[in-house]
Amino acid sequence: MTDLVAVWEVALSDGVHKIEFEHGTTSGKRVVYVDGKEEIRKEWMFKLVGKETFTVGASKTKATINIDAVSGFAYEYTLEINGKSLKKYMENRLKTTNTWVLTLGGTDYRVVLEKDTMDVWCNGQKLETAGEFVEDGTETHFSVGDHSCRIKAVSSGKRKEGIIHTLIVNDREIPEAVE
């Protein structure tokens, strides 16, 4: 990887993915790696600006690297996820998901709740869940290893805050992670 010009980390429901981009400005070569695996390789491109589109993660999320000339032989590389800039995508993701990172029995787990679908992901796998209505809201039950887990959804009572989601593992509340 001699022409490596950009590296991004993208947090999706199935995990954090590393995207690397090589751009040979003399040869026109373009190579995209996702999690170390080569996704795109183009040699001898005469047009040095443009875009490369590919997918990331288990849900095949659309990603595009934009290559723009800034001045002379300087280039700017920007990553878009689902048509939004990486910054906008991550800001939106903070509103639509909750993420918890925890260690159980010496194993690290990353649990993600997609609030719009109520899908629960753990270490890259979508989990089987069972939902139930309880007195003060809802609970979504699932297992991580041999540990029983539930995500409790309770109204905050405030319109701006909306619903508060709490992960409870073995009757212990897990604090939310900041990604």
pLDDT digits (tens, 9 = 90+) for 94-134: 899 999 999 998 999 999 999 999 999 999 899 999 999 99
Q: What is the pLDDT of residue 83?
A: 96
pLDDT digits (tens, 9 = 90+) for 151-167: 999 988 888 778 999 99
pTM of the model: 0.84
Using 50, 70 and 90 to split pLDDT, how confident is the model at 139?
very high
Largest Cα–Cα separation, the chain: 66
**Is the model more confident about 44 or about 120?**
120
Average pLDDT score over residue span 82-92:
95
Based on C-alpha coordinates, what's the Rg of the chain?
A: 20
What does the mean pLDDT of the chain come to? 92
The 8 Å CB, 24+ separation contacts for 61-67 are 61/12, 63/10, 63/19, 65/6, 65/19, 65/21, 65/32, 67/23, 67/30
Average pLDDT score over residue span 2-15:
93
Q: What is the pLDDT of residue 4?
A: 94
Evaluate whether 29 touches 3 at the Cβ level (below 8 Å): yes
Q: What is the pLDDT of residue 26?
A: 82
Number of C-beta neighbours around residue 134 at 10 A: 11
Name the token pair of 146.
Answer: 């041999």
Reported residue count of the chain is: 179
Evaluate whether 149 touches 169 at the Cβ level (below 8 Å): yes
Residue 178 has pLDDT above 80, yes or no: no
